[in-house]
Amino acid sequence: MNKSTGDRSTGDYSTGYRSTGDWSISDYSTGHFSTIDYSGYGAFNKPCTTKEWTNAIKPNFLYFELTKWINKNDMTEEEKENKEYKTTDGYLKVFTYKEAWRNSWENMENREEQIKQLKALPNFDKEIFKEISGIDIDEDKKEYLEKDGKKYEIKIIREIK
Domain presence at residue 70: yes
Q: Tell me, yes or no, whether 55 lies in a domain.
A: yes
Residue 97 CB contacts under 8 Å (≥ 6 apart), including other chains: 5, 15, 66
Kindly give the confidence (pLDDT) of every residue in the chain, 161 residues in length, as a single tens digit, with 9 standing for 90 and above: 444 444 444 445 555 444 555 666 655 466 666 766 555 677 888 888 888 988 999 999 999 898 999 999 999 999 898 888 888 999 999 999 899 999 999 999 999 999 999 999 999 999 999 998 999 998 766 666 788 888 777 655 445 55
Q: Is the residue at 83 inside a domain?
A: yes
Q: Find the domain containing 50 and state its range.
A: 42-154
pTM confidence score:
0.67
Q: In 3D, which of 114, 137, 129, 138 has the Cα closest to residue 43?
A: 129
Total domains, the chain: 1
> Is residue 56 one of the residues assigned to a domain?
yes
Residue 1 domain-assigned (yes or no): no
Residue 12 in any domain: the answer is no
Q: How many residues does the chain have?
A: 161
> What do you get for the CA distance between the two ends of the chain, in Å?
56
Whole-angstrom CA distances from 44 to 7, 24, 59, 67 are 21, 9, 16, 26
Question: What does the alpha-carbon distance between residue 97 and residue 35 come to, in Å, rounded to a whole number?
Answer: 15
On whether residue 161 sits in a domain, the answer given is: no
134: in domain: yes
Number of CB atoms found within 10 A of residue 77's CB: 6
Beta-bridge partners for 154: 143
